[in-house]
Amino acid sequence: MNRAILIAVFAFLYIPIAVLIALSFNAGGLPTVWSGFSFKWYASLAGNNDILSAALNTLIVASVSTAIATLLGTLLALGVEMRKKRGSALEALIFAPMIIPDIVLAIALLSFFSMLDVTMGLHTIVLAHVVFNIAFVCSVVRARLKSFDWSITEASADLGASAVTTFRRITLPVILPAVIAGALLAFTLSVDEFIIAYFTAGAGRASTTLPMQIYSMIRFGITPEINALATIVMAVSVVALTISQRLNRGVVGQ
Amino acid sequence: MKTLLAIDRVTKNFGRIAAVDDVSLAIRENEFFALLGPSGCGKTTLLRMLAGFETPSGGNILLDGKDISAVPPNRRPVNLMFQSYALFPHMSVRANIAYGLEMERLPTEKIRTRVDEIMATTQLSALADRKPEQLSGGQKQRVALARALVKRPRLLLLDEPLGALDKKLRGAMQMELKRLQHEVGITFVVVTHDQEEALVMADRMAVLKDGKLLQCDTPHEIYERPADRFVADFIGVMNFCEGRAAPDGVTARDGTMLRGRVPEGMAVDDRAVAAVRPERVTLFPAANIANRVAGTVEALAYHGLDLQLHIRTALTEKPFLVRITADAADRRPVRVGETVEIGWAAEDTRIFRN
Amino acid sequence: MTPRSPLLMAPALAWLTGLMVVPCALVLALAFFRRGIYGGVEYTFTLENFAQVFDPLYAGIFLNSARIAGTATLIAVVIGYAAAYAIAAAPRHRQPIYLFFAVLPFWSNYLIRTYAWIVLLNREGLITQLLRSIGYTGEPPSLLYTEGAVIAGLVYNYLPFVILACYAPLSRLNPELAEASRDLGGSAFTTFRRIVLPLTLPGIAAGAVFVFVLSIGNFVTPALLGGGRFQMIGNLVYDQFLTANDWPFGAALSMVLIAIMMLLLTLQAFASERASGRATAREEAA
């Protein structure tokens, strides 16, 4: 019984994705009818300038927002876990970006940027993505810090180390796997994020990200190129998340 | 007395490991029976087979002469008091106790009467509307007991019933359990790793190790006449002197002859161990005492009623343990460093294979 | 240690305040302003935008999207609970692997997961081809651009989330509680209904609230799988900001969305507090 449920649920979850991946290697022009194996749609992606520039934009947005969010999120996690008292307002503020519906944050930022007459582009997408990425990095690092024995930092200070040395030699090495896991998670979320980017990208093609490009291609119709692009994007996400998961498990296992 | 439950050559394998290995036991009507052994000895697995949560890999379990090995837990007239108590956290004390009777589809009025009755017996009436998380450890234990007892099972199984309680409460609850068992007239089978608990509570007990039954008898018999070295060591405190069997005792490593009855089937010069309980050893033994040895008092520990002495002798590597009454110690005080003679009678020596 | 804590938190908190709290407050304020004649915002106080939400036309969309989101939530919870139950019943060492693969699709691109359903459901898609292969020769069934397609897409996208939300309370449940119920004479079904379900319900409810809110505020799935024919609140918000240019009304709609979420979460928290009896414990302590 339980086995049957698991098989059915995993079939439901993976068959649509498997069909998509299979069709990305389809030789024929029809996007959904199999007619032989080929890499040609991957080759044609490489020649599609719209997709390449969107991919570049996405890499820029994801890298910059991940870098900022990893720094700020890690510091936030350290600050929160060092506090002796627990503030529910603070917890709510940190938790909010994870539960607030994307569309609400998207229109809020759109209104905010246009009211301030900020010209929107990749930089505004970065500003927006950092908001939710801070929350995710912070929660991953905090999970690690929950089991962190703060007395070892006191021992380090007692042995003559400065605060900076203690952080560099003691705290950072212990939390580093969680920081990297958080960064990978943030990077994946940013690469995949569509709604907020769509609202904060401003006008023009110059700041189109990959999900925005995919959205307009899907609205235009089914093409084998989307299958190939989708396969690559999924592969990148899966690899990043598997590494992130591994690092996190290592943390738990310690 | 009539046999209520017969465990007939029961075996339970998990993969290639036999958690219970060919165990046969007969538990009598109205008996307080204890299954005793170190953790991993198979006592909990045996209990779970009696409750119906595991099926034996071999052998039969007969209740009132009927084989119940294949009867599911909800159809057995057997109830289990779980080690964690397993009280339903979303139900009040009353609802927890009534649950089992609701399963029997008894009329509401009847359920109420029986729940009230058992709550009075277990002194829970004042706590009827509390939730489990509002109860102390001892109260939780009583609710778990009441919940199982209210069903009036033929057999009540208790898995480490006092394990979660602190030491002082435990002593009181041991007596309480005995009183309740007497009052309700239900057969109790208790699983415990605490030999003292088993000795105090049980009418009869079984000692298990590595899935095998080592001995089944009254606490007194098991304490006084343990079947082997493991049982002797596990129950109570024992001094062991290793050596070789002789016709009328054991020759210790230093050549001292320790007199006692040699068990049947043991040949002269077999590896053997002579054992004696600390309370059977006397200081400054009378002239007619068979076994005697000199030693130095190494440590003294005061236990209120009695005094425990560690005495260094040539017999054993570990110091010899001797228990004397506080009264005796007052009459003839000993000091650390003093050389004394100790001794015990030949009938107090137990000899086992080693 | 403590004095440095505010300093460490300051940059992130400033970021969250400046780019989340302030913009959201702005949207809240916007909801009480009037729409300008040429699409801008006129800064005079009004409650018209909220009144407009209850206009039959928009109220209809609200009810419609609540129905679609509700159906998707119900289906996702039933399947997700069954899956989580099966995972929690599996041998301990296999559970993390099952869970990982159950959640993995959730971390891949939402658009791509939705697109996969277009590939399955379109007129020449896998389902049509399967029908053909068993001898069906008629018109291909119209599966795409239906309410069913929207619901399927929502269930597919949020199922991993529900599995995760249901697994947590199921795996924490002391297995001895179910055994105790069996021991006291409860059948497998009674044990599930009276013990397992009530004790795991609060966790499931939290998951359900999120699926419902994410579904009702969704605009991508109705746009792609519903072909724009099934408007949900998310689409309405989208339209007000990007096509109709009625920002105050769009702001009011999204505030209503947030209000629904807060209400449901509060109800859920209240219900689970009642269920676990913590409320009575606190009363007694007071």
Measure the CA–CA gap between C49 and A105, rounded to whole angstroms: 19
**Residue showing tokens 């032989």:** A36
The DSSP output letter for C55 is: S
Q: Report chain C residues whose CB lies below 8 A from the CB of B97.
A: none
Which pLDDT belongs to residue C280? 43
Interface check for C2 against chain B (CB to CB < 8 A): the answer is no
Min distance C267 CA to chain B CA atoms (Å): 18
Please list the residue range(s) of chain B that carry CATH number 3.40.50.300: 3-229
Interface check for C260 against chain A (CB to CB < 8 A): the answer is no
Interface check for C269 against chain A (CB to CB < 8 A): the answer is no
Among the listed residues A114, A129, A108, the one whose alpha carbon sits nearest the alpha carbon of residue C21: A108
Which pLDDT belongs to residue A30? 66
Q: Report chain C residues whose CB lies below 8 A from the CB of B79.
A: 183-184
Answer left, alpha or beta for residue C150, where phi above 0 means left and psi between -120 and 50 means alpha: alpha
Which pLDDT belongs to residue A28? 77
**Residue showing tokens 């088993």:** B198
CB pair distance less than 8 Å for B100 and C185: yes
CA nearest to C239 within chain A:
A107
Which one is the CATH code of B3-229: 3.30.300.30, 3.40.50.2300, 3.40.50.300, 3.40.50.720? 3.40.50.300
Counting one residue from chain B and one from chain C, the pairs whose CB atoms sit within 8 A come to 75
Would you tell me which residues 122-181 of chain C have a C-beta closer than 8 angstroms to some C-beta of chain A? 122, 124-126, 129, 156, 159-160, 163
Question: Any idea what the Cα angle at residue C259 is, between residues C256 and C264, rounded to 5°?
Answer: 130
First and final C-alpha spacing in chain B: 37
Check: CATH 2.40.50.100 for B239-353?
yes
Measure the CA–CA gap between A25 and A41, rounded to whole angstroms: 7
CB pair distance less than 8 Å for C156 and A12: yes
Alpha helical stretches, state H, chain A: 2-24, 40-46, 49-82, 88-99, 102-115, 122-145, 151-158, 163-166, 172-192, 195-200, 210-220, 224-253
Q: Report chain B residues whose CB lies below 8 A from the CB of C199.
A: 88-90
Local structure of C61: helix, strand or coil? helix
Dihedral over alpha carbons C123, C125, C126, C129 (to 10 degrees): 50
Of B86, B90, B148, the CB nearest to C176: B86
The DSSP output letter for A100 is: S
Q: What is the pLDDT of residues C84-130, one digit of tens each?
A: 999 999 998 999 999 989 988 887 888 999 999 988 888 777 787 78
Min distance C173 CA to chain B CA atoms (Å): 11
Interface check for C179 against chain B (CB to CB < 8 A): the answer is yes
Which pLDDT belongs to residue A191? 92
Which pLDDT belongs to residue A201? 93
CB pair distance less than 8 Å for C183 and B80: yes
Q: From the candidates C4, C7, C20, C209, which should be mutated to test the interface with A, based on the most A CB atoms within 10 A?
A: C20
Measure the CA–CA gap between C41 and C38, rounded to whole angstroms: 9
Measure the CA–CA gap between A61 and A211, rounded to whole angstroms: 12
Give me the tens of pLDDT residue by residue for chain A, a chain 254 residues long.
Answer: 889 999 999 999 999 999 888 888 888 766 566 778 888 889 888 888 999 999 999 999 999 999 999 999 999 999 998 887 778 889 889 989 988 889 999 999 999 999 899 999 999 999 999 999 999 999 999 988 988 888 888 888 888 888 888 888 888 998 999 999 999 989 999 998 999 999 999 887 889 999 999 999 888 877 788 889 989 988 888 888 888 878 876 543 33
Which one is the CATH code of A48-253: 2.40.50.140, 3.90.1150.10, 3.40.120.10, 1.10.3720.10? 1.10.3720.10
CA nearest to B133 within chain C:
C281
Handedness of CA C2, C4, C10, C12 (dihedral sign): negative
Confidence tier at C59 by pLDDT (50, 70, 90): confident
- A195 within 8 A of A106, measured Cβ to Cβ: yes
Q: From the candidates C183, C193, C282, which should be mutated to test the interface with B, based on the most B CB atoms within 10 A?
A: C183
- A116 within 8 A of A149, measured Cβ to Cβ: no
Among the listed residues A239, A235, A140, the one whose alpha carbon sits nearest the alpha carbon of residue A181: A140
Q: From the candidates A111, A123, A229, which should be mutated to test the interface with C, based on the most C CB atoms within 10 A?
A: A111
Q: Is the pLDDT of residue B1 over 80?
A: no
CA nearest to C245 within chain A:
A111
Which pLDDT belongs to residue B280? 93
CATH no. of C63-274? 1.10.3720.10
Q: Which two tokens stand for residue A172?
A: 């950072």
Q: Report chain C residues whose CB lies below 8 A from the CB of A10.
A: 101-102
Global pTM reads 0.82
- C241 within 8 A of C111, measured Cβ to Cβ: no
Measure the CA–CA gap between A212 and A198, rounded to whole angstroms: 6
Measure the CA–CA gap between A48 and A26, rounded to whole angstroms: 18
Q: Is the pLDDT of residue C283 over 60?
A: no
What percent of chain B has pLDDT above 70? 100
Of B86, B90, B151, the CB nearest to C179: B86
Of A6, A135, A222, the CB nearest to C119: A222
Which own/partner pairs from C8-13 qualify as long-range (CB within 8 Å, at least 24 positions apart)? C8/A75, C8/A76, C8/A78, C8/A79, C8/A82, C9/A75, C9/A76, C9/A79, C9/A80, C10/A79, C11/A71, C11/A72, C11/A75, C11/A76, C12/A72, C12/A73, C12/A75, C12/A76, C12/A134, C12/A138, C13/A76, C13/A93
| Contact present, B and A (at least 3 Cβ pairs less than 8 Å) | no
Q: Report chain A residues whose CB lies below 8 A from the CB of C5.
A: 78-80, 82-83
**Residue showing tokens 């913009």:** C23
ipTM of the complex: 0.90
CA nearest to C80 within chain A:
A9
**Residue showing tokens 């890999």:** B57
CB pair distance less than 8 Å for B90 and C276: yes
CB pair distance less than 8 Å for C115 and A192: no
Measure the CA–CA gap between C237 and C252, rounded to whole angstroms: 9
Min distance C284 CA to chain A CA atoms (Å): 24
CB pair distance less than 8 Å for C177 and B134: no
More confident residue, C278 or C48: C48
Would you tell me which residues 184-243 of chain A have a C-beta closer than 8 angstroms to some C-beta of chain C? 188, 191-192, 194-195, 199, 211, 214-215, 218-219, 222, 226-227, 230, 233-234, 237-238, 241
